[in-house]
Amino acid sequence: QLQLVESGGGLVQPGGSLRLSCAASGFTLDYYDLGWFRQAPGKEREGVSCISRSGRGTNTVDSVKGRFTISRDNAKNTVYLQMNSLKPEDTAVYYCAARSTMFLNVCDMKNSYANWGQGTQVTVSS
């Protein structure tokens, strides 16, 4: 059974940092694009960042560029999202997702990811 499990969310003050992790079980991530998405209350889900199979291709939404960094460790079957300089508007439930792909070095955050985690809450507040 394919499963993605996020961890690392929590409450942090503005300007603080969090590192989200997403561990996969039941399949190897080697053949998958990986993405982080988020959904704030009353808002639609948005793509935050994605990373290609090789790890050499990434895409990041403008609102978090320079603050968030996505990475992956295929040996650990895990994808990460390092979030720095957090702002109250980053408050949301964060989801990781995986999408099988033949492409090695490109990814996008179109809504075609088939495998999703259960989400982890990130709250940025003083």
Among 91, 113, 109, smallest CA distance to 9 is for 91
Distances 40 to 22, 24, 53, 92, 95 between C-alpha atoms, Å? 19, 24, 28, 4, 11
Q: Would you place residue 110 in the very low, low, confident or very high pLDDT band (cuts 50, 70, 90)?
A: confident
- Nearest CA-CA partner of 33 in 90, 93, 112, 118: 112
Q: Which two tokens stand for residue 99?
A: 């999408």
Give pLDDT, residue 111: 73
Phi-psi region of 44 (alpha: psi -120 to 50; beta: other; left: phi over 0): beta
Which pLDDT belongs to residue 16?
A: 98
Q: What pLDDT, on the 0 to 100 scale, is given for residue 2?
A: 85
Q: Residue 1 — pLDDT band, cuts 50, 70, 90?
A: confident
Average pLDDT of span 75-93: 97
Contact between residue 31 and residue 89 where contact means Cβ atoms under 8 Å apart = no
pLDDT of 112 higher than 90: no
